[in-house]
Chain A
Amino acid sequence: MNRQENVIHALLADGDTLDAASLPWRVCELCVRRLSLSAASVALISGPQSRGSLAAGGRLAGRVEELQFRLGEGPCVEAFDHGVPALEPDLAAGGLARWPGFARAALALGVRAVFAVPLQVGAARVGALDLARDTAGPLDGDELADVLVLADVTTSAVLFLQSGAPDGALGATLAQAGSDRIVVHQATGMVSAQLRIPVADALARLRAFAVATDRDLDEVAGAVVGRRLRLDE
């Protein structure tokens, strides 16, 4: 059996059927249970403003994902932007120089190493497979190869879930990803109108406010949309 077959076999081991909607979850599960990783998530990304989590596994996955969205930096952002894996085996050393804000916050959560692989077809990217571990050290050769195959399998599943969707719309399963970010986008629009600045800058303001007050971006956004907080005061 080649590596790809092995990985698919492992994905199937728990049950005999595997549908595209549950595949991203299985991938995260497998990373956490069978590989050395402590958190895994599949992020759908279309740019600096849009990212949503399609699936996650491991206790810290949601936190690591939220941190990267809040700070606008981290392995997943880098892997998506550059189209190559972002591997940081020692967050406390290289990580601090690479993503100062993210590394400090992730270290505080107990994360010691992070790895992200883009989900892509040729030059077109749809997101990233985002991995974290609570011990420092690189992925060994086999693990890295498995992770690359898992990213490919996940990409296929994502594209399958998008196939058949009406033009301009998201496939039903994919539409759930990032729906928790809706409030952030709404708040971005409100701040953009309050300060008369472009939405990209408005999101940057929201992020900066969340970092400065040490609150989750979602929470800050909720306060803006609930009209309990204005950024022009």
Chain B
Amino acid sequence: MTGQEGASVVREQRLVRAFVELADTLVSGFDVVEFMSMLAARSVDLLDLAAAGVLLDDQRGQLRVVAASDEKVRLLELLELQHDGGPCTEAFHRGVAVQVGAAEALRRWPRFATQAAGLGYQVMCALPLRLRDQTVGALNLFRATTQPLDAVDLGVGQALADVATIGLLQERSMRESRLLAEQLQVALNSRVALEQAKGVLAEQTGLSIDQAFEVLRRFARQHNLRLVDVARRVVSGELSGSGIAGL
């Protein structure tokens, strides 16, 4: 085995470990910041970087920093600066990988490039976090040497970004589904409470079911309460039927 092959095997093992780690986080309760911090940290290890950061779309069209390989204020500032333009913004909007050296960066995004140079970064790269036609953010990579990321590096970086994207989208859709399931439960229970309250009221007052419903509705309107809240209080006995009906 040549030295180069040895290095590549080691990297492959580390890559596999990184994927397993990302997958584990997905299974054992998902925390977006924790997950993205791991993505940034593993990218630095695997791609020989000085720093990495993750920006996500805040779903209002702005990119926000959610994680970085270290918490140096200047790195975070640099990531934030891309509001005005930078590799991440471009990768995010165009959905493609963007890589530039110091000179080109200075020409295209002077503020960003000046701050990056101050931190000693020579090569800046951004990979989109994208699944099919949906781009949710970008992974920002910085190298302190002038050696650009080669095709293999970019492939590895994109693979990490892809896994992160799938995890993130899965988590979002799970969260939405859970929310819907909970709303459905609440709505089903509300209906039961309302029907039971009609029955309680009808029994307590001698009114018909339909009349009882009218009384409930009127009481809720007059007191500016939600119908279901009035119903629950009638069912629990907190509100008496005769009191509500004004009898």
Q: Spell out A's residues near B (CB within 8 Å).
A: 44-47, 49-50, 52, 120-122, 124-126, 156, 158-159, 162-163, 165, 167-171, 174-175, 178, 182, 185-194, 199, 225
Q: How many A-B residue pairs have CB under 8 A?
A: 113
Q: Are A189 and B196 in contact (CB under 8 A)?
A: yes
Q: Are B198 and A189 in contact (CB under 8 A)?
A: yes
B108 near A: Cβ within 8 Å?
Answer: no
A168-B226, A193-B203 known; 16 new pairs, CB 8 Å cut-off, are: A45-B188, A50-B191, A121-B178, A124-B178, A159-B181, A163-B180, A165-B183, A165-B187, A174-B184, A182-B195, A188-B195, A188-B199, A189-B196, A189-B201, A192-B200, A193-B204
Contact of B191 among A162, A170, A199 (CB under 8 A): A170
B185 near A: Cβ within 8 Å?
Answer: yes
Q: Are A158 and B184 in contact (CB under 8 A)?
A: yes
Cα distance, A188 to B196, chains bound together (Å): 6
A171 CB, min distance to chain B CBs, angstroms: 8
Question: Which residues on the A side are within 8 Å of B209 (C-beta)?
Answer: 186, 225
Given A121-B177, A159-B177, A188-B199, CB of A170 within 8 Å of CB of B187 = yes
Q: Are A199 and B188 in contact (CB under 8 A)?
A: no
Q: Are B192 and A50 in contact (CB under 8 A)?
A: yes
Question: Which residues on the B side are within 8 Å of A185 (C-beta)?
Answer: 191-192, 195-196, 199
Instruction: State the interface size on chain B (CB cutoff 8 A).
Output: 31
Interface of B, secondary structure class, is: helix
A182 CB, min distance to chain B CBs, angstroms: 5
Which of B174, B188, B190, B201 lies at the interface centre, i.e. has the most chain A CB atoms within 10 A of its CB? B188
- A224 and chain B: residue at smallest CB distance: B199
Given A168-B226, A192-B235, A199-B235, CB of A121 within 8 Å of CB of B181 = yes
B241 near A: Cβ within 8 Å?
Answer: yes
Q: Are A190 and B202 in contact (CB under 8 A)?
A: yes
Cα distance, A125 to B209, chains bound together (Å): 31
B72 CB, min distance to chain A CBs, angstroms: 37
Q: Are A189 and B200 in contact (CB under 8 A)?
A: yes
Q: Are A170 and B199 in contact (CB under 8 A)?
A: no
